[in-house]
């Protein structure tokens, strides 16, 4: 029998904890729960979960501080459960090394999809084969080895910068990527604040080339105030 994947939920609201726990158990995950940040940290260290679901508003420890501490020694995927409406906490959590977030209230199918994506992505990063499979989603194909993008078999001509953005989003497909992360990946860590505008211009051009209706994108979604998310390939 295959080993069950272990999910640690760090969340002080017990009804949310129970809801998540029930959904996960029915999907054959092994579930651990912690109602405080300190209990969560010690379970991460002692149990080595495959993924951590983390509420940012904990009674004893700020969730952002917990991410900072965990990331100093562990690459375990962290999925933030965010009740907060402000985008700033989400961005801060992602920039500290969280993998993604779900905003309360969320449905269990959305949560399951996010969990699968985060775990798959961490396995891919740890994979040793070094071969990058082409990204494919609904007619869009990105062949990383040939550096070629095609849409329903037709080659799409992207500028060097546009290509870099698309590839970075595809490598992270299914996950949100913050504006800052894209900018520092494409233009380097010393990029100017004007790059926000340049990124938006590039994204508009990318969507014109890829999307049938750029106002309702199919491939690259906007997470307002946070960043972009490419559909999972």
Minimum CB distance to Ca ion, residue 31 (Å): 18
What are the CA-CA distances from residue 222 to residues 40, 55, 102 (Å)? Answer: 32, 23, 15
Question: Which among 182, 186, 194, 168 is positioned nearest to 227, based on CA atoms?
Answer: 182
User: Residue 107 CB, nearest distance to Ca ion (Å)?
Assistant: 19
| Among the listed residues 62, 131, 73, 123, the one whose alpha carbon sits nearest the alpha carbon of residue 97 | 73
Q: What are phi and psi of 162, to 5 degrees?
A: -60, -40
**Pick 52 or 183: Cβ nearer Ca ion:** 52
**Residue with smaller CB distance to Ca ion, 7 or 81:** 81
Task: Give the count of residues interacting with Ca ion (CB under 5 A).
Answer: 3
Smallest gap from Cβ 44 to Ca ion, in A, equals 18
Contact 145, 132 (CB under 8 A): yes
- The crossing angle, in degrees rounded to 10, of helices 63-71 and 37-47 is 20
Alpha helix ranges (H) inside the chain: 14-26, 37-47, 63-71, 87-95, 108-126, 160-171, 179-187, 195-210
Q: Which is nearer to Ca ion, 12 or 232 (CB)?
A: 12
Rounded CA separation 202/196 (Å): 10
Sole window of 50-58, 145-153, 175-183, 203-211 interacting with Ca ion (rule: CB under 5 A): 50-58
89 touches Ca ion by CB under 5 A: no
Task: State yes or no: cis peptide before 105, omega within 30 of 0.
Answer: yes
What is the spatial distance between Cα 5 and Cα 199, in angstroms, rounded to a whole number?
A: 37
Of 8-27, which residues contact Ca ion (CB under 5 A)? 12
Closer to Ca ion at the Cβ: 53 or 119? 53
Nearest distance from residue 75's CB to Ca ion, in Å?
A: 25
Residue from 30, 57, 122, 184 in contact with Ca ion (CB under 5 A): 57
* Cβ closest to Ca ion, residue 61 vs residue 198: 61
Instruction: Quote the CA–CA distance of 126 and 110 in Å, as a whole number.
Output: 25
Which range in 4-12, 41-49, 93-101, 130-138 contacts Ca ion by CB under 5 A? 4-12
Q: Which residue lies nearer to Ca ion by CB, 82 or 202? A: 82
Which one of 55, 89, 162, 223 is in contact with Ca ion (CB under 5 A)? 55
User: Which residue in the shown chain puts its C-beta closest to Ca ion?
Assistant: 57
Least distance CB 12 / Ca ion (angstroms): 5
User: Which residues are near Ca ion by CB under 5 A?
Assistant: 12, 55, 57
């Amino acid at each position: 029998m295959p080993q069950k994947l272990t999910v640690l939920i760090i969340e002080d609201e017990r009804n949310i904890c129970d809801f998540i726990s029930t959904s996960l158990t029915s999907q054959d995950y092994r579930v651990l729960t912690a109602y405080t940040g300190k209990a969560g940290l010690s379970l991460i260290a002692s149990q080595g979960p495959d993924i951590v679901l983390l509420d940012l508003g904990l009674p004893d420890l700020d969730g952002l501080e917990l991410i900072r501490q965990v990331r100093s020694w562990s690459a375990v995927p962290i999925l933030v459960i965010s009740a907060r409406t402000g985008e700033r906490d989400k961005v801060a959590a992602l920039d500290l090394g969280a993998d993604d977030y779900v905003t309360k209230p969320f449905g269990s199918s959305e949560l399951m999809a996010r969990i699968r994506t985060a775990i798959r992505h961490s396995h891919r990063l740890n994979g040793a084969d070094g071969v990058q499979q082409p990204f494919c989603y609904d007619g869009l194909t990105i062949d990383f080895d040939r550096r070629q993008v095609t849409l329903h078999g037709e080659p799409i001509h992207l500028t060097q910068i546009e290509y870099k953005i698309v590839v970075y989003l595809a490598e992270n497909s299914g996950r949100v990527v913050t504006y800052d992360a894209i900018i520092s990946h494409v233009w380097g860590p010393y990029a100017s604040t004007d790059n926000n505008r340049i990124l938006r211009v590039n994204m508009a051009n990318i969507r014109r080339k890829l999307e049938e209706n750029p106002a309702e994108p199919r491939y690259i979604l906007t997470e307002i105030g946070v960043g972009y998310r490419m559909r999972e390939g």
